Structures are given as structure tokens and as C-alpha cells.
Structure 1
Amino acid sequence: MAYTISKASDLTGINPTTIRYYDKEGLLPGIQRMNGIRLFTDEDIKWLHVLSCLKNTGMPISRIREYAKLAVLGDKSLKERQALIMEQRQFVKEQIDHLLFYMQELDYKEWYYQKALALGSESQVNPDDYEKETGKKKPALL
């Protein structure tokens, strides 16, 4: 089945302007055109989902372009593509670890303010109660 850019946008959640940008940057190899109108196949839609994933996990366009060029090579580039994905996965994992670290601080602060409001004053809050009441360790920085 062939989809217009508008339908491809609906199916992927990617703005048509962004899809045009991807095409201009050479990230959409093999996009067919009829009378100058881009036509997207089901495979193109899958590819757009991959591009969106890579972009939304912080991969720079230059690396995405490298990945796209490798993908065109098919099986010859499996190791290289795997390496790029593994690197990106590690990057995402590190970002998640950082966010989880900061989430601990936010969890503590949320508990702290709820407690202070319930007790009527910050001076009444005993930070040592956090672990007893929540089962969570107090953030390391406190």
C-alpha cells in the first residue's frame, strides 16, 4: 500500500515537515515519487518509526545518516548497525540511570513537603522518617 506524506505523518506521529527534512537529509532511501509527491510504503513507515526512535533517544543526525547508509547495504552491515544500536542503547541506559538518580531526589522532596504541610512546619519533619515511611532510601546527597 502507498501512503501520502500526510498519511505517513498520521501513522507515525512525525510531523510532515520533519519527514521532508529526513528525506532532504538522505535518511529515507528509496522513497518513491509520483508526479513529485512522496509515496510511502509499509516498509517506509517502519523505517520512519526507527528514525523517530533514534532521534528521540538523542542520536545525532550524523549518526542516524550513518545508520541509514549502513541499512541500505543490507546484511553486509549487520555488525556495524548492531554496534551503533548498542552504543545508542548504552547512551539511553545512562540517561535513564541519571534520571532515576534525580527521581530519588524528587521523591524525597515530594514526601518532605507533604510531611511539612501535614505537620504545619518544616521544622517538624524528621528526614530519618523517610526510609521508615516509604521503604525507600534517602537520596545520597542528603
Structure 2
Amino acid sequence: MDYSIGEFSNLTQISIYTLRYYEKENLIIPNRKQNGRRCYSETDVSWMQFIKRLKDTQMPIKEIQKYAELRALGDSTMNERMEMLIKHRIALKKKIAKSNEHLEKLNDKINYYKGVILL
């Protein structure tokens, strides 16, 4: 199924403005109809969901651009893309561990206050 930019925006929950920016930055390259209008596919939906996930995990836009470039080059870049994702996973695990440490300390402080207030 093909989607117009408006339909694609609604489906992916990404503004038309942002989609045009992503296109300018070569993160997504939609097909064009004969009249020049953008035309997005199910593959584009999956790709945009992946981009959103990378952004949500704080992958820098330059890294996402590099990943997108490699993806556009095809299967011969799979090893390099996998290595990028492995490095990102390591960084993400470190952030999660640090956040869990902060959460533990906050819980300790809350429990302290609960103990003191209830006395």
C-alpha cells in the first residue's frame, strides 16, 4: 500500500515538517508519483519506526544518517550496520545502568523520608 505524506505523517506520528527534514537529511527517500508527489510504502513505515527507536535511545542524528547511508548501499553493508548497532547497544546499556543506579538512590532517599515521617 502507498501512503501520501499526510497519511504517512498520521501513521508514523511524525510531522510533515519533520518528514521533509528527514528527507533533506537523506534519512528517508520516498518514491515519487508521476505528478511528483511523495509516495511512502510499508517498508518506509518500518524504516521510520526504526529511526524513531534509534532517536528514542539517543543515537545521534549523524550516526542515524551514517546508518541510513549504509542501508541505502544494500546488503554488503550489513556487517558495518551490525557493528554500529552493537556499539549503540553497549552505550545504551551503560545509560540504563546509570539510570538504574540513580533510581536506586532516589528510592533509598524516599524510603528514608517515609521512615522518618511515619515515626
TM-score (norm 2): 0.90
Letter in 1 for 2:5: I
Counterpart check, 1:55 vs 2:55: yes
> Contact 1:8–1:40 (CA<8 Å) still a contact in 2?
yes
CA contact (8 A) 1:14 1:52 kept: no
Match of 1:133 in 2: none
Give the number of equivalent residue pairs.
118
Residue 90 (structure 1) shift: 0.9
* Greater helix share, structure number: 2
Runs (4+) of structure 1 exceeding 4 A deviation are none
Cα drift, residue 22 of structure 1:
0.6
Structure-2 separation of matches of 1:114 and 1:16? 48
**Higher relative contact order (CA closer than 8 Å, sequence separation 6+):** 2
Aligned-residue Cα RMSD (Å) equals 1.4
Offset, 1:14: 2.2
Q: Match for 2:32: what amino acid?
A: R
Residue 115 of structure 1: aligned partner: 115
Q: Give ranges in structure 2 of 5+ residues lacking alignment.
A: none
Q: Which residue of 2 aligns with 1:128?
A: none
What does residue range 1-142 of structure 1 map to in structure 2 within 5 Å? 1-29=1-29, 31-34=30-33, 35-119=35-119
Calculate percent identity across the aligned residue pairs.
Answer: 36
| Structure whose alpha-carbon radius of gyration is higher | 1
